[in-house]
Structure 1
């Protein structure tokens, strides 16, 4: 496994070794020692999730105010454009984002530490999106940022397609409208 730094410190791309032949492929999707080999504390995961979406679906940008979730995300089928946004109050990277294409060909994953909002849009006809979380989902502290917040400047590759959003995601506020108690604290 190769760990690659992104423009946001702590957000990592994981490139696994894929073993393939005429029968198909095999790939390891998580091993604690990958993080430890790079001098990082391996995340402890308590919940796994999976969603299926069609082309043009955009989910996010979500985060939790209490017990923020670290997420190891991957696209098990199809392709998505995946985004992490730093929402840690006091962080020198507050409001900055990074976007990465994840697909079922490269098997790349993205590690998004606690304190980051997360979202993705589907690029393929169908996408199965799987992710591991470091904290349980807490509906009472679930919040987010509007996907097209101009202050974030995210260049979503939607090819002039109007994204398909949930009713909840359509009502998310801009980052500038987030109260301090809706943000996590930068750990330094």
Structure 2
């Protein structure tokens, strides 16, 4: 094959590869495997283009594997062109791995939390908390039941609680933004 024909062949191959990639994306997933900690998907596509001077075959495959915070994507596009007795093949492989790092949620500060103007309180120690009043204390619970709002403010699903050490003299209660004046 002379240099001029090879340039045309290479340009046509690139167009076919692009068309094959679009075909893979638009064809969707052909099979999906799932289990408790893993999701896997595979899509395959094949296209034949017959012209008067060339026969072109484009094969595409894409694998997506999700396990925990890791996502791996592998794709392959192969183009084979036949021009009379001569066959040319070109292949593109692409592998990508992405890991999402867990951002630690803000830590709830240990201490006594109040709602203001009552004898009710919430005590946080490490990874547990409990409610208390002048009448006594309730059993400890896991801190995951509390929602961190901002430094010194937590929400238990019903009430906002503010850290007692952040309270000033003119406070009337606790809200989502902290101590209210």
Assess same fold via TM > 0.5. Answer: no
Query: More strand by proportion, 1 or 2?
Result: 2
Q: What is the TM-score of this pair, normalised by structure 1?
A: 0.17
Structure with the greater relative contact order (CA < 8 A, sep ≥ 6): 1 or 2? 1
Structure label with greater radius of gyration: 2
Q: Which one has the bigger helix percentage? A: 2
TM-score, normalised to structure 2, is: 0.18
